Amino acid sequence: MSDQPPLMLAIDTSTRMAGVAIARGDVVVAEYTWLAGQHHTEQLLPAVDTVLKGNGFLLSDVQAVAVATGPGSFNGLRVGLATVKSLAVALGLPIVSATSLEVEAYAHAVAPWPICAIHDAGRKEVAWAIYRGPAAEWRCTVQPQITSPEALAARLRGRTLLCGEIPEGCLVLLQGALGPRAIIPSLAARVRRPGLLAELGYRRLQAGLLDDVNALQPLYLRRPPPVPQPRSQEPSLLEA
């Protein structure tokens, strides 16, 4: 039996930026991040296939799956969760999860300040949460929520690292409110990486913090729109 850590497949379709990664333990073998927009449905499985086969793996080699649960795009989250759940059931794999905000913040776990992950929630609001490192003591200090950018600015005290897909207007407002207390990484450093989801997933796998495939749900923070129902058809002769 191999002593290698399990091969984990990480999938993140939370927002317009999507990502897929494979990792063994905390070693990222490969990751792929792309601008999916609203095309998660048709682009996700080809991306998974490319990342696996491009590195000499088959889907049957995967031993665990990790998924980002949101908050984010309603359609994107449905696609990602449905795909991961299908894989977990079909292949008998353990499943672990993290919020998209946590994945964004975890990239900056070494920072000595609070880390506020932010992204657009629509309706002139933002989704955000606050985390503290280091990685060995990683924790969420303010749970994910949706507010106006102004309400978020009023909540922040002291030096704070701001990360995530922050809307430009919100970023300008926070810079004005916090001044030099706002620590803002470069745009590239704020891109959510699926390799970090894989690392968080492996830590949870080691700790036995597995998700129930039947109970796992997207973190919407706001009620999702109803799924369109197919138009009713005229009854067939057999139904008459």
Strands (E) in the chain, as ranges, are: 7-12, 17-24, 27-35, 64-68, 95-98, 115-122, 125-132, 139-147, 160-163, 182-183
Whether the predicted pLDDT of 238 surpasses 50: no
Question: pLDDT confidence of 100, banded at 50, 70, 90?
Answer: very high
Q: Once rounded to an integer, what is the mean pLDDT over residues 17-43?
A: 96
Q: Are residues 63 and 26 in the same domain?
A: yes
Q: Are residues 171 and 199 in the same domain?
A: no
Q: Are residues 28 and 55 in the same domain?
A: yes
DSSP sequence for 117-147: EEEEEETTEEEEEEEE--GGG-EEEEEEEEE
Q: Once rounded to an integer, what is the mean pLDDT over residues 102-106?
A: 98
Instruction: Confirm whether 56 is domain-assigned.
Output: yes
Question: pLDDT confidence of 198, banded at 50, 70, 90?
Answer: very high
Note every long-range contact of 182-186, with CB atoms under 8 Å and residues 24 or more positions apart, other chains counting. Answer: 183/111, 183/113, 183/159, 185/108, 185/161
pLDDT of residue 2: 64
pLDDT of residue 230: 53
- Start-to-end CA distance of the chain, whole Å, equals 61
Q: What average pLDDT does the structure give for the chain? A: 92
Q: Once rounded to an integer, what is the mean pLDDT over residues 127-148?
A: 97
Whether the predicted pLDDT of 42 surpasses 70: yes
Whether the predicted pLDDT of 35 surpasses 70: yes
pLDDT of residue 120: 95
pLDDT digits (tens, 9 = 90+) for 63-83: 999 999 999 999 999 999 999
pLDDT of residue 226: 58
Residues 111-149, buried b or exposed e (16+ Cβ, 10 A)?
beebbbbbbbbeeebbbbbbbbbeeeebebeeebbbeeb
Instruction: Confirm whether 168 is domain-assigned.
Output: yes
pLDDT of residue 54: 97
Instruction: Confirm whether 222 is domain-assigned.
Output: no
Instruction: Confirm whether 112 is domain-assigned.
Output: yes
pLDDT digits (tens, 9 = 90+) for 209-231: 999 999 999 999 876 555 555 55
Task: Supply the range of the domain harboring residue 53.
Answer: 7-99+193-206
Structure tokens at 188: 């590239």
Q: Are residues 112 and 129 in the same domain?
A: yes
Domain count within the chain: 2
